[in-house]
């Protein structure tokens, strides 16, 4: 009986303790700076080196480059850049290998959509996703 009484005391004590839950949609959850959310892409920085697509463990990045419009300059510039968030696991490897930090992580993580097709994000969308970029990557 003593054990039961102890238990009752413990739960009663917790009745007045501070609540641990977040009012989630109203109050945004604070995420640490390193949090791996949805990627932000800087098309102007990209040198089309393909490293992100190669390192991606789930092959969710597809990109194509085109010749630099300025004939003076060498190299390529990015043409299309798609991430398929149906299979992206937000592992952060693409941002880790990127030599120019053209792709970086943000703290945004809300990806719920009504259709799977909407999880297919293209270059423009990724470019506009410029909120809550990691501090270390802030341009």
Beta sheet of 76-84, edge-to-edge order: 61-67, 76-84, 120-121
Checking DSSP bridges between strand 120-121 and strand 76-84, what pairing results, if any? Answer: antiparallel
Q: Which is nearer to another protein, 16 or 115 (CB)?
A: 16
Token digits of residue 49: 């080196």
Under a CB-based contact definition with an 8 Å cutoff, are residues 47 and 103 in contact?
Answer: no
DSSP structure class, residue 26: T
Q: Which is nearer to another protein, 4 or 69 (CB)?
A: 4
Residue 27 Cβ vs another protein, minimum distance, rounded to whole Å: 12
Instruction: Check binding of 86 to another protein (CB under 8 A).
Output: no
Instruction: Check binding of 69 to another protein (CB under 8 A).
Output: no
Residue 12 Cβ vs another protein, minimum distance, rounded to whole Å: 7
Instruction: Check binding of 19 to another protein (CB under 8 A).
Output: yes
Pick from 11, 24, 71, 138 the residue near another protein by CB under 8 A.
11
Q: How many CB atoms lie within 10 A of CB 121?
A: 20
Under a CB-based contact definition with an 8 Å cutoff, are residues 135 and 33 in contact?
Answer: yes
Q: Where on the chain is the footprint of another protein (CB under 8 A)?
A: 1-4, 6-12, 14-21, 23, 31-36, 55-57, 89-93, 96, 105
């Amino acid at each position: 009986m003593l054990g039961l009484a102890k238990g009752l005391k413990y739960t009663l004590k917790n009745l007045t303790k501070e609540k641990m839950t977040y009012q989630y949609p109203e109050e945004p959850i604070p995420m640490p700076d390193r949090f791996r959310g949805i990627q932000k892409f800087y098309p102007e920085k990209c040198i089309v080196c393909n490293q992100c697509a190669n390192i991606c463990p789930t092959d969710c990045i597809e990109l194509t480059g085109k010749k630099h419009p300025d004939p003076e300059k060498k190299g390529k510039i990015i043409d299309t850049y798609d991430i398929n968030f149906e299979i992206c696991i937000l592992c952060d490897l693409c941002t880790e290998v990127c030599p120019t930090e053209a792709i970086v992580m943000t703290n945004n993580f809300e990806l719920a959509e009504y259709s799977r097709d909407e999880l297919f994000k293209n270059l423009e969308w990724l470019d506009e996703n410029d909120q809550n970029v990691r501090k270390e990557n802030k341009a």
